[in-house]
Amino acid sequence: MPINKLKTLYFWVLLAFMSLLLPWSQAALIVRPDFMLLVLIFWLIRAPNLCNVGTAWMLGLLVDLAAGTVFGQYALTYTVTVFFAVTYQRRLVLFTGVQQLIYVFSLLLISQVMLLIIKTFAGGHFIGWMYFLPSLSGLLVWLVTMGLGLNTGGRGRAN
């Protein structure tokens, strides 16, 4: 069972990575949700034994490579975000659908704020409130996958 799950996890990670490599441009680039982090959060909720802070760090490095940013920026961002996710993972079973949505949204926001802090330290400029759009679009993706009947854990799965 875990082997099978692990394969599925790898498949989803690969898919998220490919989505990252797509030639996004203009508005799509601004709105594009962070698929990698979404997959990470999803698997963290479903199978915390397969996917933990270390996994997040490794995937963050992959994203760093693909995005051409300094090695360690996304790695640190994902590490911190997943730490928060893991801390509240046990409580999540009691969450209802809406609570889970808020939880996921705040995780996405944490990752973006974290990245913003790192980038600002590195001499970057805040690019405006549009910067936070990926969190909203990520939430939308989460909502759609939940609507499509994907089991995202939490109390909502009973119905």
Q: Which residues bind another protein (CB under 8 A)?
A: 2-3, 6, 17-18, 20-26, 29-30, 48-50, 52-54, 56-57, 60-61, 65-73, 75-76, 79-80, 83, 86-87, 118-119, 122-125, 127-128, 131
Nearer to another protein, 101 or 114 (CB): 114
> Please, which contacts does 81-84 make with residues 24 or more away whose CB atoms are closer than 8 Å?
81/37, 81/41, 81/56, 81/107, 81/110, 81/111, 81/114, 82/40, 82/41, 82/44, 82/52, 82/53, 82/55, 82/56, 83/53, 84/110
Smallest distance from another protein to CB 104, Å: 18
Smallest distance from another protein to CB 133, Å: 10
Smallest distance from another protein to CB 71, Å: 4
Nearer to another protein, 146 or 154 (CB): 154
Nearer to another protein, 120 or 143 (CB): 120
Nearer to another protein, 69 or 145 (CB): 69
DSSP state of 88: T
Question: Residue 150: which residues within 8 A CB-CB, separation 6 or more?
Answer: none
Kindly report the CA angle at 34 between 66 and 97, in degrees rounded to 5? 155
Smallest distance from another protein to CB 120, Å: 9
